Each structure stands twice: as C-alpha cells, then as structure tokens.
Amino acid sequence: MKPLAFFLFLATFSMVCFQCEKTDTPPNPTPPINFDCADHPSVCELTSANGHFAIDLFKTINEQELEDANIFISPFSISTALSMTMNGANGETLTDMQTALRTGTIDLAQINEAYQTLLEVLPQLDPATQLKIANSIWHQNDYPVLPAFLATNADYYASEVRSVDFRDENIVGEVNAWIENNTEGLITNALSELPPNVVMLLINAIYFKGSWQTEFEPENTVVTDFTSPTGVVEVDMMHLAESSFRYTINDLFQAIDLPYGDSIFSMSIFLPREGHNLNEVITELSPANWEDWQAQMVPNDVELFLPKFKLEYEIKLKNTLSSMGMENAFSDRADFSQLISGGGVKIDDVIHKAFVEVNEEGTEAAAVTVVVIVETSVPQIPVFRADRPFVFVIHDNKTKSILFMGKVVDPS
C-alpha cells in the first residue's frame, strides 16, 4: 500500500480545517507520532477505502444539491459513525454497508483495529495542529442491546456508552450539549427532535484547528468581487504576494496545497481555468486522479488570492447513502441482529452537520454525524376474512393425498 493512500485520507479530511489563535504554546504539546504505511498496512488499506468513500460521497451529494449550493462535510466523521454501526449489522445489511463505505472485502475485525490505531494516531500527528475526535453511543436503557456490540465500540472506537431513557424530554438537550462540548462550541443544536421509536444514537464528533504555515497579513485583505453562479458578490480577499506552495496547472484547473502547522495537514484547492466550471473538475475527481493530482503538485512560487469564508452545512444522508448501496439498512429488511437481541431495528437517518471558517490565521472546522437507530415497523397480524367465494381442499400431510376439494360461493 503506497504511503500516498494515507495522505489521500489526510488531505480529504483536511477539508475539515480551521482558524487558529496565535499563541506561544502549541495547542497540542504531545510529541508527534511517526507514522509509516509500511508499518501499518491495514490502516492504510482502510484510509484508501475511506478516500474512495469520501470522493464518491462528495460527488453524490454534489449531484443531488442545487448548482449554487455550498457543500461542506467531514467524510471521516461519517465513515467512522457508520463503521461503529456496522458492528451491529449482519448478512446482506453488513455487505451493503461495506459496499457503501467502499471497504469491500476488508474484514470487519481489521476495520475495527485500523480505526483503533487511527483514532490514537491522528490527534498526535502534528503538535502544531489541534485535532479532537470523540465517539459516543446512547441506548435505550430497557432495550436488549447486545453487550458485545457496546464492548466492541468502547474498545476499538473509544466510544462513551450512555444508557438513557429517550422518553425523557431532556435527552435531546443532553445529546446536543455533548456534541457542542466535543466540537468546541462550533456545532450547536444538532438535533431538534428524535423519532418516537428511537432506541439508539451512534455519534461521532470531530474538531480541527490549525494555523497556516504561511499566514496572511490582515492588512493585505481587501474587499473585491467574487463571481458566483448567481452573480457577482463582494468578499474579503486575502493576499500573499509571493510564497512557495505545492502547485500544478493543467488544461482544466490550477491546484494549490496550503499546509498547516508542520505540513502534516493541508488544504488542497482546485480552481477551474477560464472556460471551465467547477462541475467539470468534480466530474474528473476520482481516487486515481486524486492521487495523480497530488503527485503532480510540486513546490512553486505563487501569488495567492483566497477569500475568507465561513460555512455551515447540514444534511440528512438517508437518500445519499441508499443510492450508494446501503438501502437495506434503512428499511424493515435491515439485519442488525449483532446490535439488538433478535434484531428488529433499522437506521432511521444519518444526520450530518458541519462548520468551517477560513481566515488570515488558518482554518477552524468541526462536524458531527448522528446515526439514529429505531425499531422497525411492528409486523401486522394478517387478517383472513372469508366473506367472499373461496376454494377449499381437504388433504393429508403424510401421503399428500387430496381427499376433498370444494368451492363455496354461498355458505348460507
């Protein structure tokens, strides 16, 4: 597995970036961890799959969104929450979730072990950058949740497990408070309500804060025009007169890679060239092209203009994930028999909310993913009402002999 596969994940995740206050003390004093794919091939196999999922998910959302809509997601948050959930899936539902997450035939035990390593390593890769990842499971206290499912997620995903009563009107507030606390206050009111038949929430929260390696000077920021699909708008445009960045240009776009901290995390930006539009670039985006584009970027002196921006984005992913192959997980056909004794539950929806702010100092971003598990519909007792003509047969079940047959048109 190439080391580039790991940086595919890192750069994709770096779309979740953010602003950093100047301070004499690094936000994370922990010494950096040296990571090499040669030492952790299973981790890099997972991050490669996560990279495929990230690109496919982003392209699918882009196809479903309005052309003039901003999009901002954390694919890592979504794949983590769904991988936690996948530990409760069985049969076709498990296979479908692996298909949607692009993990293919990677063994579930291997996925869990790889996440265990990732969740330990990622926050310690760059002491100059702050990264916080938290997971939790909230389950109905009188529902037969399998202890093995909770134990797996606690062991491999460091999930905090809370036994609660979803009938308590204060639960939504408690969940929102947990999310707000684990996203440093950037994600608030993630949930407005819960379905009446909810039995479990699986939550991933992620927070990232990094300073540009080369910061912009605020006095060089000026108000200028930005051409959007709906017309020209005014923005605060940051400016660096001349700095060295990884850069490439081709017939379709210019690309630049802006590093944070010690260059472990970065933001790659793809700008369509005159005569081309952003959807052409997104259409060409694929795992293979992503690796090629990253390899093509080489250090170059560049004069850079980048707008300051702040985005909030929220999406329910049921339709998106169903179209990517995991429709069964949202239906009454769902098999989560490794989660609940006897099964009988499904995913109601996957709620995702994200925030990003980019300014002269850096980037600040956060996201949360909530997988909502509910009871499936209670099977209806069949009603057989013989109030119209019918046929009947009298037979034995040993020799299979039909002894009598009849048709009743008027039983009176």
State the Cα–Cα distance between residues 227 and 223, nearest whole angstrom: 13
Side-chain-side CA neighbours of 230 within 13 Å: the count stands at 7
State the Cα–Cα distance between residues 172 and 190, nearest whole angstrom: 9
pLDDT of the residue at 249:
93
Q: How many CB atoms lie within 10 A of CB 80?
A: 24
Q: What does the domain layout of the chain look like in residue ranges?
A: 3-210+314-375, 218-309
The predicted-structure confidence for 330-377, as pLDDT tens digits, reads as follows 999 999 999 998 889 999 999 999 998 989 999 999 999 999 999 986
**Residue 308 CA: distances (Å) to CA of 132, 182, 238, 239:** 24, 25, 7, 10
Q: Do domains 3-210+314-375 and 218-309 have the same CATH topology?
A: no
The predicted-structure confidence for 77-104, as pLDDT tens digits, reads as follows 999 999 999 999 999 999 999 999 999 8
pLDDT of the residue at 390:
63
Instruction: Using the structure block, give the residue that is written with the tokens 């445009």.
Output: 237
Q: What pTM, to 2 d.p., does this model score?
A: 0.85
pLDDT of the residue at 39:
82
Candidates 261, 258, 264; CA nearest to 10 is 264
The DSSP 8-state label assigned to residue 378 in this structure reads P
Angle among Cα 242, 237, 273 to the nearest 5 degrees reads 75
pLDDT of the residue at 67:
80
Residues of the chain with pLDDT under 70: 1-31, 377-385, 387, 390-409, 411-412
pLDDT of the residue at 36:
82
pLDDT of the residue at 388:
74
Specify the CATH number for 3-210+314-375; select among 3.40.50.300, 1.10.260.40, 2.40.128.20, 3.30.497.10: 3.30.497.10
State the Cα–Cα distance between residues 10 and 66, nearest whole angstrom: 28
Cβ–Cβ < 8 Å for 336, 183: no
pLDDT of the residue at 393:
55
Q: How many CB atoms lie within 10 A of CB 338?
A: 20
* The token pair that represents 406 in the structure block: 């009849």
> In terms of CATH, what superfamily is 218-309?
Alpha-1-antitrypsin, domain 1 (2.30.39.10)
pLDDT of the residue at 341:
84
pLDDT of the residue at 389:
77
